[in-house]
Amino acid sequence: MNKTHQFTKRFAMGFAITIGLSTSAMAVDINGGSSWTGWTSKGLSSQLGVYGSGSETAVYEVYTTSFSFNNDSADFTGGAVGGGLTGGATGFGTGGFSRGAFANGNRILGIGVRVVSGGSISVFTPTVRFDLDSDSYQPASTVPGGDGQTSSGTYSEFKDFTVQFASSLTWAGTTLNGQAGNGTFYGGLSTFQTIPGGIGSGVSYDWAFRAFAQADSYQMLFDLDAMQALYGPNAFGFTFPGIGTIGNAVRISLNGLGNNNVVFDATTTVVPPDDICPVISNIQPTLVPINTPFDLTANVDDTTTGGSTIDSASYSIEYGTPVAMTASDGTFDEISENVKATLSITSAGIYNVCVSATDAAGNTCEECILLAVYDPSAGFVTGGGWINSPDGAYTPNTPNDDTDDHLVGKANFGFVSKYKKGASIPDGNTEFQFQAGGLNFHSTSYQWLVVNANGQNAQFKGDGKINGIGNFGFMVRGWDGAKNATPDTFRIQIWDKENGDAPVYDNGDTVLGGGNIVIHVPKK
């Protein structure tokens, strides 16, 4: 029995495998099978699937891998034969023939085979057929059975795809057939077009495949991104629209010589390399008392932004030096992590607190909130008077009409905000009237009050209604200029909580036209 025939018999069966693309960097041994780091063993052929026509006695181990390509992470040790034009067994170099195949970041699907018993596979001519919507090829129904559907001439559909590897293993691909059958184009099931060009042909073009072999093992690698780009719709040299979309389910038919075939499913959600940072949400708390330890918490989730595990998280205050946060369950090993850090702040104020998170693919995002740190004993604030409302301060929700956005005129205000003894929520009242815009805002509740340690300014936040209706948030900042001989200023921000926090009014820090703001600080 020659070596080619031995190889053929080892592939004479059907089995199902599941392939999922890793989005994190990892080392993958690509050496023909002298080692298998980065590959997953699916088990022995004697324990897998349904045989087609061919040997029932040859035994081999099946491996799969899938990853985002990084030439620096591939281990080419082991003396493999095969490879690419300039890369050989030491790399994937393609010189001037590259059309994007095996570029860093591309999605790679790998199938590996190792002989357990049954001979050498150093010389053979495997054919790999892609049934892109998993409805053409079928494994045999019995052990062994001759009813497997594997022929590209008989069972292939329009836009399916066939690759035939060279038996010499000097490079990975001699004949590529783009299927144009099923009676929808070119008039029949057995009709196909051979793709022109290839490595060494003088055409500036590269195959999207590589193969490496040892005496008793073989690794085939398929660049899914390059396959889609090079052989898909509108690809060069085609007189039909190209192969179909490489989607979630790909059925593969493999055969060597004769009619010995194997059919298996590579069923996966084919995801692109993860280049999107995780989502950071639910940063809490937003209000704390001074000199009191608290847990800063957040959720970090990469489920919808690439699917990588979360690698680390940190926080910073006022854009200072980042401080590490921990995973709430003790280990960063999930796609979604709750993170936390314990801290204490010693001065009252409004602080920018930012949480940063990095996923295993190296993508980092940051999300910030305003943290109010209050001191119930620091004093309270009162104010009353008027301002000239500037152009653009009032932005009501009036679709297709921005007339109100440019209203100006006098606006009256009055407020008091203070902590009652022993309370953690301030008490008081705020009213703001902008007559030109027909706006009369009245507070209904407060959330917090912060009086700065120097007693020069104060901020408070709460909820209220406009003209007696709605659900609006507001925040007031008042500056008591008497503390340093400067004018008093007043700012109020109002937003619509029932309309995605759409802004309604914001005058910025505006000098009072009349009246005053007083920050009442307890005497030391």
Question: Per residue in 88-101, pLDDT tens?
Answer: 434 454 433 345 67
Peptide linkage before 144 cis (omega within 30 of 0): yes
| The pLDDT value given to residue 6 | 22
| The pLDDT value given to residue 165 | 63
SS3 content of the chain, % helix, strand, coil (to 5): 5, 45, 50
**Element (H or E) spanning 168, and its range?**
none
**Element (H or E) spanning 227, and its range?**
helix 224-231
| The pLDDT value given to residue 353 | 94
| The pLDDT value given to residue 475 | 96
φ and ψ of 263, to 5 deg:
-125, 130
| The pLDDT value given to residue 8 | 20
The rounded mean pLDDT for the chain is 74
Least confidently predicted of 6-20, 255-269, 301-315, 334-348:
6-20
| The pLDDT value given to residue 254 | 67
pLDDT category at 217 given cuts 50, 70, 90 is confident
Least confidently predicted of 161-175, 314-328, 355-369, 381-395:
161-175
How many Å apart are CA 451 and CA 485, to the nearest integer? 19
- CA 267 → CA 136, 155, 175, 445, distances in Å? 15, 19, 25, 56
pLDDT category at 180 given cuts 50, 70, 90 is very low
Q: The tokens 């008392």 sit on which residue?
A: 289
Q: What is the DSSP letter of 11?
A: T
How many Å apart are CA 426 and CA 6, to the nearest integer? 84
What is the mean pLDDT of the segment spanning 484-498? Answer: 94
Of the two residues 258 and 144, the one the predictor is more confident about is 144
**Element (H or E) spanning 7, and its range?**
helix 3-10
φ and ψ of 501, to 5 deg:
60, 35
pLDDT category at 410 given cuts 50, 70, 90 is very high
How many Å apart are CA 389 and CA 67, to the nearest integer? 59
Of the two residues 337 and 420, the one the predictor is more confident about is 337
Least confidently predicted of 63-67, 69-73, 125-129, 188-192:
188-192
pLDDT, tens digit (0-9, with 9 covering 90-100), for 428-487: 999 999 999 999 999 999 999 999 867 889 999 999 999 999 999 999 999 999 888 899
| The pLDDT value given to residue 279 | 95
| The pLDDT value given to residue 199 | 39
pLDDT category at 246 given cuts 50, 70, 90 is confident
Is-above-0.85 flag for pTM? Answer: no
pLDDT, tens digit (0-9, with 9 covering 90-100), for 5-50: 222 212 222 222 223 333 334 567 777 788 888 788 876 655 544 4
Terminal Cα-to-Cα distance of the chain (whole angstroms): 101
Structure-derived torsion over alpha carbons of residues 179, 183, 186, 191, reported in degrees to the nearest 10: 40
| The pLDDT value given to residue 121 | 65
What is the mean pLDDT of the segment spanning 384-412? Answer: 83
Of the ranges 168-177, 210-219, 244-253, which is most confident? 210-219
Least confidently predicted of 233-247, 319-333, 499-513:
233-247
Hey, what are 165's tokens?
Answer: 């590897």
pLDDT category at 276 given cuts 50, 70, 90 is confident
Quote the Cα angle for 93-98-101, to 5°: 80
How many Å apart are CA 139 and CA 254, to the nearest integer? 11
Above 80 in pLDDT, residue 57?
no
Which residues are paired to 265 by β-bridges? 251
pLDDT, tens digit (0-9, with 9 covering 90-100), for 160-172: 777 766 554 443 3
Cα–chain center distance at 211: 30
Above 60 in pLDDT, residue 173?
no
How many Å apart are CA 439 and CA 446, to the nearest integer? 20
How many Å apart are CA 331 and CA 38, to the nearest integer? 23
Which residues are paired to 374 by β-bridges? 289
Residue 236, burial from CB neighbour count under 10 angstroms (0-12, 13-18, 19+)? middle
